[in-house]
Structure 1
Amino acid sequence: MIAAVALLVACAFTITVCYIGFCLVFPWGTCVRCAPGGKNRTCRACNGTGMRPRLGWQLYVYLRRLYR
C-alpha cells in the first residue's frame, strides 16, 4: 500500500513539473471558444486573436505579481 502511494505521489509530481515546463515554453494555447470555427473577431476570451494564455501561465504571472 505504501509503495502504491509513493508511486502515485511521484507520478503526480512528475506530471506537475512537466506541465510547468510546458507552460513556460509554450505559454499561449488556442482559444477554446473560437478555435473550432477559426478566428472569431468578436470573441471576448481572446480578443479575436485565437490564442489565450494557459492556466499554468496565468497562475505563474499571478504569483509573480503577488510577490512584487
Structure 2
Amino acid sequence: MCPHDPSCPSAEAKDREAARTVAAHPEQGWSLLCNGVVLFEDTGELLPNGVVIAPHRPTDLASSAA
C-alpha cells in the first residue's frame, strides 16, 4: 500500500511510471517504484506480477510511423 498522499498510481495503471522512486540503482540501470514496478533505464519495466513491458522509447514510435 502506498504511503504517499496522493497515492501513487498502481502497477496496473497506464501512468504507473509516475510512482515515486523508493530505491534507485543508476549504476545497475534500474529503479524500484513505490507501486512495486522495476523501471529499467532503457524504459523497459518488470511489473510485480512478473509481466515484462518491453522498452518503449519515443523514438521507437517515430520510426514505426514512417
Task: From the two aligned structures, give the one with the greater helix fraction.
Answer: 1
**If you compute each CA radius of gyration, which structure gives the higher value, 1 or 2?**
1
> Of Structure 1 and Structure 2, which has the larger fraction of its residues in strand?
2
What TM-score range do you get, normalising by the shorter chain? Answer: under 0.3
Superposition TM-score, scaled by structure 1 size:
0.23
TM-score of the pair, normalised by structure 2: 0.24
Higher relative contact order (CA 8 A, sep 6+): 1
